[in-house]
Amino acid sequence: MGLGSFYNEQVLPRMIDKMCGFGDMIDWRRKAVAGLHGTVLEIGFGSGLNVPVYPVEVTKVLAVEPSAVGRKLAARRIDSSPIPVEFVGLDGQSIPLDGEIADTALSTFTLCTIPDERAALREVFRILKPGGEFHVVEHGLSNDDAVAHRQHRFEPINRKVAGGCHLTREHWSELRDVGFDLVETSTTYAKGPRTHSFFYLGVARKPA
């Protein structure tokens, strides 16, 4: 295993588990999961940071997560939860599930790292039942031109050190292009560097 592979496969998942699992980040996760119910498809399950804040209306989670370390770190959270979690795939761009089986879906700070965001969104759209909702909280392209300019400058470096994380994705337009109707959307700066903390929080619905 090369140094880059060791960093991405062994170090980075543990860093993300620590950095994305405390303080305001938990508050953002609570906002994103509100309203989830039934069988939930979660892409970018990671180390299970959303498990403690799932609503009681969630009956099962179908988890997509490529990192073996992430899945290992998630084990204790899964064991402490009454909600069953089934790992169903490694790649959000190609999920080995039948269509129209999930009641709701979730992505938290994941769409930035998937190489082909639109392919992943198409998979979520396919797997959701008609009328099903997709809940997201992501960071992305700022609506401030000066910040957006810095994001474009920093993105190549950020992708190298943060597991392929893009800073310049505009998630609402991607969701619309795939066929989702946007039900609730908001964008705002969270705590942290403005290049990394312009957050998209919302709910998109697959037409019935």
User: What domains, with CATH codes, occur in the chain?
Assistant: 3-205 (3.40.50.150)
The predicted pLDDT at position 16 comes to 79
Long-range contacts of 7-10 (CB under 8 A, 24+ apart): 8/163, 9/67, 9/68, 9/69, 10/69
**Which residues are within 8 A (CB) of 62 and not within 5 positions of it... i.e. 6 or more apart?**
39, 40, 41, 42, 86, 88, 97, 101, 102
Residue with tokens 């979690």: 85
The predicted pLDDT at position 12 comes to 78
Alpha-carbon span 92 to 122, nearest angstrom:
10
**Phi, psi angles (nearest 5°) of residue 186:** -150, 150
pLDDT mean for each 10 residues of the chain (208 residues): 68 78 87 98 96 98 95 96 97 98 98 97 98 98 98 96 94 98 97 96 98
Alpha-carbon span 158 to 95, nearest angstrom:
27
Alpha-carbon span 78 to 42, nearest angstrom:
14
The predicted pLDDT at position 174 comes to 97
pTM of the prediction? 0.94
Alpha-carbon span 108 to 97, nearest angstrom:
20
The predicted pLDDT at position 9 comes to 78
Alpha-carbon span 195 to 157, nearest angstrom:
13
**Phi, psi angles (nearest 5°) of residue 181:** -95, 130
The predicted pLDDT at position 31 comes to 97
The predicted pLDDT at position 15 comes to 78
